[in-house]
Amino acid sequence: MDQIKNELSKLLIENKELMKEFKSATYKESFQLLLESNRPLFDAIERAYDETDEKEALINDLAEDFVSRAKSVYDTLPKKGAKSNYLMDANMLMGTYIIPCIVEYKGKSSEVLADTILNKWNLVFTQFNLQKGSFTDIDSSFRRKLCYITTAVCNCLNKEDDCYELTLLRNYRDTYLTSQPGGKELIEQYYSVAPQIVFGIDQMRDAKDIYRDIYREYLSPCISLIENQEYEICKQMYSGMVLELENTYLGYLS
């Protein structure tokens, strides 16, 4: 059992670099490599789960050990900024790779182990609200050509998918921006980071407040600029928003 615990903790300790692969072009392959390389670990967990009559106790023990090891690393960090960066990186890795990987194994123990780890994680690290996601859901989000950030903001504000703001910004993207030199490249660059930004914000307990701030500070001014046909200034403001959010919520890239 000690070996299983050690290998399980390595999923978090040794895979931080995977976050650099959390992009539309590389996520699927990097996820599958992680799953296959850790299949012996998940096989061992499944065997232990099948062989014991104390299934709940086994899962609780594994989850408790996993979270306590993460907390031990967190506690050794001397500064608040270092703690915050560690936790944001760990939270992103958990939500995009580790928990989906456990679930994707599809064993009898998979869902209950993922749920128990998540529950214990959120009780210890209260700054975030880590949620369970599947590989299929995350991977498919890369392929949907949406205004990710704007859509997330409008959803938070209870606006429909065909609301004025989304319709206006999509029209701006598809008409003005795509026709500008470097416009298509800018759009593709946006698609490569926007889903990760939204994922990072969604894990924050104050996500609704963050989205309201984005609307007030960036989207509402951008909409006014488009209405006044100040398209280039809108482009600069929206690009600045993406860069600011990337620096704030994708710290693993630094």
Please list, in sequence order, all residues whose beta carbon lies within 8 angstroms of the beta carbon of residue 138, skipping any fewer than 6 positions away: 27, 96, 100, 195, 199
Task: Give, in order, the Cα–Cα distances in Å from 149 to each of 35, 140, 153, 223.
Answer: 29, 16, 6, 14
Interatomic CA distance for residues 173 and 187, integer angstroms: 8
Same domain, 121 and 6: yes
For residue 192, pLDDT beyond 70: yes
Same domain, 184 and 155: yes
**Class of residue 188 by CB neighbours under 10 A (exposed 0-12, middle 13-18, buried 19+):** exposed
Same domain, 179 and 95: no
Share of the chain above pLDDT 70, in %: 96
For residue 63, pLDDT beyond 90: yes
Same domain, 131 and 154: no
Same domain, 243 and 186: yes
Same domain, 132 and 29: yes
Same domain, 233 and 154: yes
Same domain, 163 and 89: no
Q: Is the entire prediction scored with pTM above 0.85?
A: no
pLDDT, tens only, 101-160: 999 999 999 999 999 999 999 999 987 778 888 888 777 766 555 567 888 888 888 888
Q: Which of 118, 139, 160 is the C-terminal boundary of a domain?
A: 139
Same domain, 91 and 159: no
For residue 251, pLDDT beyond 70: no
Same domain, 122 and 14: yes
Q: Domain tally for the chain?
A: 2
Same domain, 6 and 110: yes
Closest CA to 218 of 174, 160, 153: 153
Q: Which of 107, 139, 171 is the C-terminal boundary of a domain?
A: 139
Interatomic CA distance for residues 94 and 200, integer angstroms: 11
Q: Which of 121, 139, 157 is the C-terminal boundary of a domain?
A: 139
Interatomic CA distance for residues 99 and 103, integer angstroms: 6
- Give me the sign of the Cα torsion angle 86, 88, 89, 91: positive
Residue 6, CB-side half-sphere exposure with 13 Å CA sphere: 3
Name the residue range of residue 197's domain: 144-253
Closest CA to 55 of 128, 130, 113: 113
- Give me the sign of the Cα torsion angle 229, 233, 239, 240: negative
Same domain, 185 and 114: no
pLDDT, tens only, 38-55: 999 999 999 999 999 999
Interatomic CA distance for residues 195 and 117, integer angstroms: 24
